[in-house]
Structure formats: C-alpha cells, structure tokens
Structure 1
Amino acid sequence: MINYIIVDDEHIAHDIIKGYCDALPNLSFIQHCYDAIEAMESLRNNNVDLIFLDLNMPKLKGFEFLKALQNPPKVIVTTAYQEHALEGYELNIVDYLLKPFSFERFIKAINKIDVSNTKASVASTLTSKSDERIFVKSSKKMIQINLKDILFVEAIGNYCKIITVDDEIQIREKISDFINVLPTDKFFQVHKSFIISKNHINSIEGNRIFINDFIIPIGKVYKTNLNKIF
C-alpha cells in the first residue's frame, strides 16, 4: 500500500483528494494536515510514502516545507498557482496538479509514481499490478476490471474496445497508450488494432488467433511478439 497524507489549509481540498484516493486501490490514508507543522509531525510519527501538497499555506509555504525535509517522500503538488511549476519539478515532485483538477487528471499523476523507489507495492491510476486490476474511464464512469477477465482489446480509431469474459467496454484511449498499462508478460499486441491475453488463447492457426468465439488477425510486423508467448 502507498501511505499518504494530505497537506492543505482548505477543508474542501481534503475532501476532494481523499474522495479520489478512496476510489483507487493501494492508497492508504494516514492523516489530514492543515499546515506544514502538522505535516512534519505526521512524517515523524508515520511511515508516509506520498504527500499531496498545497503551496499557499500559513506558517510555512509548501515548497519551503519541502526544502526543509531531509528525505522527503514522493510529492504531488495540488495548487491553484501555475507559476511555481518549474520550481516544483526542480525539487523532483511527481506531478503538479492545478486546482480544480479532474479525477482523470488525478489518476494520471498517481501513475507517475516510481514505486521502485518507495516502500509501497506497485500501484497506479489506471493499473494496480499488485492485485491485477485496472481502472478505466468509460462514458463518465470509472470501471474496475480484473485483468484475468480481459480476452482482448480492439482499437477503433481513437477509442479502444475491451472485451472481457462477460462484458464489452469502450474507452477513449489509443491502443498505443493502453498497451502501456497492461503487464507485458500477460498481454501482447499482435496487430495494429489488437492486444490479446496470453491466458485466453485457445489456438493459433496460420495468421489467426482463436480466443473463445473470436478470431484475431496477426499482423506481419507483430509476428515477433508471438515468440514471447512461447
């Protein structure tokens, strides 16, 4: 789990951020902090992997607080002031979110966390590889999908159609982007328009892959990907 605190002097900001976090797996809430002094105390008393940090706060400004930390955890800035973005990235923040930010933009920030340098398990906005689930946005909803249920993904222009064992979900995502959130040992692109699940292949015949009642074509430039399956 990624343990996080929220550091912001506005109560509504806490409500929004915590609400977003509650909808994602592997994010564990530690404490609400309304100024940098409370945040320092929380860091001393808890194992914190991630800070959601506002900049314009009383007593000690956000970046002043961050500079005062010897070994800061990961930081996602949440602020209404865009002019401090460059300074933030110079301090190695994960992302810089301008208020008001959408849930979709929020999970993109979570996806940027380099979990190899944290004590947390693997977790992401769209992908949670530790429990083999992903969140996708379809219409105006966030839908959680178990990776083991995905048969294949088909590209339709700038959209993708995710075919699962019992459902069909359309998302506004290019297949070239969506392949990056899938585990590379289980999913392979076999055609410019198709990603298939290794575990659901029934058979391969010539340039065709059979998955349940579906027939997936194999593109010439993707044939080398089949070597990874075997």
Structure 2
Amino acid sequence: MHPAAIAFRDPAALHARAEIAGVRRLTLAPGYETTVVVPDGAWARLPDGHPERFAPTAFTRDSGLVELFRVPRTVADLDSLAAFVPTLGDPTPVTLGGADDPGGLAVTHVSAESGLRPGLHVDNHQNLPYAAREKARRRLCVNLGPGSRYLLLADTDIKSVCRTVHERYESHHPRTADLRLYVTLRRPVHVLRLRIDPGEGWLAPTAVLPYDESTEGQELPSVTGSWLGHWGRGVCGALI
C-alpha cells in the first residue's frame, strides 16, 4: 500500500498540523450517498517518527505529490484567486468553482451528480484507467477563510485498493465504489487530517488518493476555490 507523499522540510511542522484516525462505513445517513466511507472521529496526533512515512521518494512524480502552500496577500477573494491560478504554470487550469461551507461538517464535499455527500472519494473528471491514473491533473484548493478547515487524505491509494478488490485491475477504471468495497472487506485504511488555515492552500493527486475536506470543530465558515491542472512541484512555495 502506498501512503500519501507529502512535501515537507520540517517533520515537526507537519506533526503540528496533522492528525490521524481510522475510517468507518456510514449507511443510509441523511444527506449522504447510500453507503460511504468517513473518518471514525478518533483523531490522534501522529506517532513519533510517523511524518517520515509520508516523505516523498526519488520515484514520486510531481503529479503524485501533496503540497501545502500560502497564497500572496493580494489573493483575498475568488476573483483575485482566479487571476492568480493561471500564473502557476498551467495556462489552462480547469475551474471547479467555489464552495462556502459552515463550520461543524465532518466532510464538506457534495457530489454534483447525486447532490449528496460521497464521503472519502476519488475525483474522476478525466476517468483515467488504472495504468494511466498517475497522469491525472492534481487538484488545487485555497481556503479564503474566515475559518480554518482540514484536508482529509486516505493513506492508501486507489490503485492499491483496486489490486485488492479486482482480479482484472489492469483494465479497470478506479472509482469511489472500489474504496467502499475495500472498507467493507475490512481492509485497513487510515485518514490524515491536515489543517488548512485562511490564506493557505493545497495541491493533491485526488484522482489517486481518496480525499475530502472537513470543517469539524470549526465555528467559522470558510470559502474555497478549486482547480485541476498540471503543475510542477514547488510552484507555490513550501508552507511546511
């Protein structure tokens, strides 16, 4: 199983803003799809030495890297954020629009198809097959505040999941249902929770790593803007 590859210079900085928990199945809950995977809520600090488990290796592609960054102070709303994103190296990023989420949500994303919350999920805008999955665009998301929020990342990627739940995984198109089956089979999954404060953002391979966002425990709402694109590592500068 391949964990998230998170870019960081200081393990203590990652340790200070990260927590880890298990997952559980949630079935027939109002506002959610029929059966979803969500954090179990038993958040704990990363064990000592654990941040190094998520360090990128020499084989980590730019497209597979999780990066946290801070936007310039001139980026204060969705309009200025929309002007900032094309300067990062992909001249044709795909806008996913904005979201305005209240505090107190265990997961924030809502499926455009179902109108319901999918829980931990993979993005499938390009619907790439197993063999080409790493070529997918990364997702960029910026928290414009006023509240803080969290990026949720599974520590198991969807290709590892597919190798477990499908015999002919090489020709399969990975999807969120694969993760749900994996958890139903009681395979181990943990989820990281990374705090994203106002003025901060993240890049992540959300077509490969199951993810969501959360405002759990936050009193203030938070506005975000999101894009998909092909960005090299380090284009925004390192936050941690």
TM-score band by shorter chain is under 0.3
Kindly name which structure, 1 or 2, has the bigger radius of gyration based on alpha carbons: 1
TM-score by length of 1: 0.26
TM-score by length of 2: 0.25
Q: Which has the higher contact order (CA 8 A, sep 6+)?
A: 2
